Each structure stands twice: as C-alpha cells, then as structure tokens.
Structure 1
Amino acid sequence: MHTEPTATGSLQVAGIDLLLRRRSMIWFAVGMGVYALVVIALYPTFKDDSGLDAFASNSETMAALFGISGSLTSPVGWLNANIYSNFLPLIVLLVTIGYGGACLAGQNEDGTLGPVVASPLSRRTIAVQKFVAMTLLAIPVCVITALCVVVGRNFELTVDYGALAGTTVALVLLGMVFGGLAMAVGAATGSRGAAVGITSAVAAAAYLLNSLAPVVHWLHPARFASPFFYAIGDNQLEDGLPLAWAGILLGLAAATLLATLAAFTRLDVD
C-alpha cells in the first residue's frame, strides 16, 4: 500500500521540474547578472548628464512607458529606468509564465502529465509542488541581480540594502502572481498557448496601467488594480516594500494557487 506524500513533504515533482529547467534557470540568472553589471558600470559616465533628466521631464509619457520617474541620474532612478521597472520584471515573468503554461497544460499536451497524475501523489500535491518549483525558478535571477547592485557601490551607485531586499522579494512575488495565473488558465483550458497568451496579455495590460497611471490623470486611481504597483510602482527601491503591499502580492499568488487547484481537479488528463 502506498502512503501519499503531503504537499509540504516529498518534493520529487518539484525536484524533477527544477532539474529539467536548471540550465535555463542558470542562464537567465547569469545573463541578467551580466546585464546588471554593465548597467551599473556605466552609471559613473551618465550620473552627471543633465540631458537624461531633461528627456524624462520633457517626455513624461514616453519615459513612463519605460518605468522612468524622477531623476534618471540618481542611483535609484538609474536602476529603476534600466533594470527594476522594466527589464528584470520582464525576465522574471518570462521564467514564471513560461513554466506556468508548460507545467500542467503543456505537459498534458505532450502526454507527459499522465504518468505523474497516475502516481500515488494527489493532484493537489502535484499542483502545489509545481507552484513551489515555479517560485524557486524565479529566485536566482532576482537574487543575482540584487547582488550585482550591491557591487555597484564600487561604481558610485549605492542604494538602501533593506529596500533592495524588499524589492527583490516583491519581484519574486510578482512572478508568483502571474506564473500562478498561467498555471490556473492552463489547468482550466488544457492549452499551453491559451495559458501563456492570456497571462501575457494580462501582464502587459497591468504593466501599462502601472506605468501610465502617474502621468495620465484619469488612470491614477486605477494603479491599485495592477500587481506591478505593489511590486515596483510605489518607489519600493528607495522607500522599501510595505508589508501591506507584500501581503497583497502574497494574497494574489495564493488566489492563483487556489484557482489552479480547483481547475486541475477537473482537467481531463490524457
């Protein structure tokens, strides 16, 4: 007789998925680290360039699309404009949405989910373990980038380390929210394409909402509807991550997990 492992016990499903994706996880982290180091090394060259701040002030809407707000030549402004308000969230979502769409719907389409479901593990346990794997996939790229920023003190670029740690946590939570949404859509539709496509569209709309709300007056109240606001849109890299914002992101991630569990129980696995 088999004894079913609990969701928090044996993590063989998560371990296998992490093993299969270890190369992409490493390369995303290394690539983002190299990019961050280049951005940081360039800061001393541009920190006294008043033209950059003039561009941001004269083209507010265009600057907002890239997450630029305030002084572009300050350490926080430079990091936000080149890493934390745009490129790093994009990489995190590429990792989590890609995995979220593939781990249930994608494997079902490939015919590899059936043996997993036929194992002694319940569907609830499988879904939870895959959610854990998705979270772990997002951590290296965020942590490596943060460590590169710490190195930035050698290039006249310093930030509050507490705020940096909070922003790093917020980006992992952001990845969990949208990766979890991809899992839920995939479990509900059985289609990897639908999971990735729908979630990417929602993420793009949420990004635009957060970016344009500061400069489009009638959109300003709607910024609270975007998960990006709670992760990077409220000056977290300078002021830190409020516990309330972290709680909202965690609650949204938990909601996507619950939706995944509900949909996965009804998914017709081949």
Structure 2
Amino acid sequence: MWTEVLRLDLLLRRRSMIGFALGMAVYAFAVVALYPAFKNDSGLDAFTANSETVAALFGVSGSLTSPSGWLNANMYSNFLPLIVLLLTVGYGAACLAGQDEDGTLGPVAALPISRRRIATQKFAAMALLAVPVAVLTGLCVLAGRGFELDVGVGPLIGTTVGILLLGIAFGALAMAVGAATGSRGAALGITTAVAAAAYLVNSLAPVVDWLKPWRFLSPFFYAIGDGQLDAGLPPAWAAVLVGMAAVFLGGALVAFERLDVH
C-alpha cells in the first residue's frame, strides 16, 4: 500500500486537475498571441510609470512591453500563482480536515498503513495536482517564440519550479492547519489570509519603502518576486521554498497523528 492513497486522491481530483490545466493553457496561449499587438504600445509603460502603486498591486513593475514584463503582468506574477494556489490550498484543506468532516477519512485511517504514510501520500498528490497547470502554461509560453515573445528557457523553467514550490508550501500549510484544527474552513481561511498578506507584501515592497525589509518573509518573493523570469530561480531561493514546505509538512504529520478521526 505504498501509493494507494496517492492514486485514489489523484483519481478523484483528475477532472479539476485536467480542467484547470487546459483552461490555463488556453489563457496562456491567448496572452502569448496578443503580445505582438501591444509590444510597441508606449502607453502601457507610461501607465506603470504613472501608477506605480496600482500596478504593484497586480505584481507589475518595470516595462510592460518587454517579454518578461508582459508575462509577469498578465500571468506569472498574479494569475498563474492564484490558479496553482486554488488547487493546492483547496486540496490541502480538504484532504485531511475536509475528509474528516465528511466522515470519509476514517476508512482511510483504518487501513493497515501508518498515518504518517497517509499524510505523505496526500502531500505527494497535492504536489502532483499542480504540475500539469504549470507545465502546460510553460509550454504555451515557449510557443511565444513564434509570436515575437522571446523568454529564456532557463528562467522560464526556474519560474515554473518556483510557482510549483510556492503552491506546495501553501498547500502543506493548509494541510497542517486542517490537521491541527480538524476544520476545513479554518484551514482555508487561515491559509488564504496568510497567502493574501504575503502577496501584498511582495507586490508592494518595490514601491513602499517600509515594506522592503519584510519581503524576505513572503514566499512570493522567493518564487516570483526577485526577477526570476529574467534571471531564473536562484538555488538558495528554491531551498527556502522547499524548507517552508518541509516545515509545514512536518507540522501536518505531527498534527495528523493527534487528530481524533471521526
């Protein structure tokens, strides 16, 4: 029973996984295909220069007409992380606390495998759920070379990995909160609040001086907030995100061992 829980959860979530992946791929291709119509629009750069705070709220900084600026503004700094978080946080809140509330976690916990292995397999399922969305999006962006949207393959891969690690970290946090409280609502609420605050800190730090030192507390900074689409994902930043996910997974394992499963 090394992968039964993993395979079962992926089977139950396959429709949402495929739907989100295909939907994001269509959106990404549209963003890529529209780039030639806007790449020489000086008004976009003027908007960024004249409305820095408003632009920052959407994770936009620098030139909107450069390939990386266009992709960040329309996808990588906002929409793609949101979709990945919808998948991972939604599953993280449901896989332990949600199933416990529904009464479906009891039969799983009664299987002749340890709770630690159950939680680890659910963590793996959560990570795999986000892979098709991020990978298909990246492939569509690579197709942008035919639409004058030239982005380096290395930085694109690094940014994709960063967003995946971001989703995994917050998904693990949702698992930990859910296992600790036994409440899917609490897991969703607390994790969403933390993610929203972290996003705002990372987005506004470039234009709000007193927030700049705090950006290092935001997982978004390590995933997308340090020019990753231009320079790639530094190994140290990837290690920070992996460390966050590991800490939250450890908390989930400990809390699940103590959870009174119905």
- Using the size of structure 1 for normalisation, the TM-score is 0.96
Within the alignment, does 1:121 sit opposite 2:122 as a pair?
Answer: no
* 1:107 alignment counterpart: 99
Q: Following TM superposition, by how much is the alpha carbon of 1:188 offset from its aligned partner in structure 2, in angstroms?
A: 0.2
How far apart, in 2, do the equivalents of 1:84 and 1:250 lie?
Answer: 19
How far apart, in 2, do the equivalents of 1:99 and 1:27 lie?
Answer: 15
Q: Following TM superposition, by how much is the alpha carbon of 1:238 offset from its aligned partner in structure 2, in angstroms?
A: 0.5
How far apart, in 1, do the equivalents of 2:98 and 2:212 lie?
Answer: 37
1:82-231 paired onto structure 2 within 5 Å: 82-231=74-223
How far apart, in 2, do the equivalents of 1:120 and 1:203 lie?
Answer: 36
Within the alignment, does 1:63 sit opposite 2:55 as a pair?
Answer: yes
Please give the per-residue CA displacement for 1:132-155, whole angstroms capped at 9, x wherever unaligned: 000000111000000000000010
How far apart, in 1, do the equivalents of 2:129 and 2:31 lie?
Answer: 24
Q: Following TM superposition, by how much is the alpha carbon of 1:118 offset from its aligned partner in structure 2, in angstroms?
A: 0.5
**Residue among 233, 240, 265 paired with 2:257:** 265
Q: Letter of the 2:66 partner, please give it.
A: S
Segments of 5+ residues of structure 1 without an aligned counterpart are: none
Give the match's secondary structure for 1:215: coil
Q: Following TM superposition, by how much is the alpha carbon of 1:208 offset from its aligned partner in structure 2, in angstroms?
A: 0.2
Give the match's secondary structure for 2:128: helix
How far apart, in 1, do the equivalents of 2:4 and 2:158 lie?
Answer: 30
How far apart, in 1, do the equivalents of 2:5 and 2:104 lie?
Answer: 12
How far apart, in 2, do the equivalents of 1:79 and 1:235 lie?
Answer: 12
Q: Letter of the 1:269 partner, please give it.
A: V
How far apart, in 2, do the equivalents of 1:155 and 1:66 lie?
Answer: 24
Please give the per-residue CA displacement for 1:104-151, whole angstroms capped at 9, x wherever unaligned: 000000000000000001000000000000000011100000000000
* 1:37 alignment counterpart: 29
How far apart, in 1, do the equivalents of 2:40 and 2:164 lie?
Answer: 32
Give the match's secondary structure for 1:265: helix
In the TM superposition, structure 1's runs of 4+ consecutive aligned residues that sit over 4 Å from their partners are none
Q: Letter of the 1:60 partner, please give it.
A: E
Q: Letter of the 1:168 partner, please give it.
A: T
- Using the size of structure 2 for normalisation, the TM-score is 0.99
Q: Letter of the 1:209 partner, please give it.
A: V
Give the match's secondary structure for 1:269: coil
RMSD: 0.5
Q: Letter of the 1:196 partner, please give it.
A: L
How far apart, in 1, do the equivalents of 2:33 and 2:143 lie?
Answer: 10
How far apart, in 1, do the equivalents of 2:150 and 2:134 lie?
Answer: 18
Identity %: 72
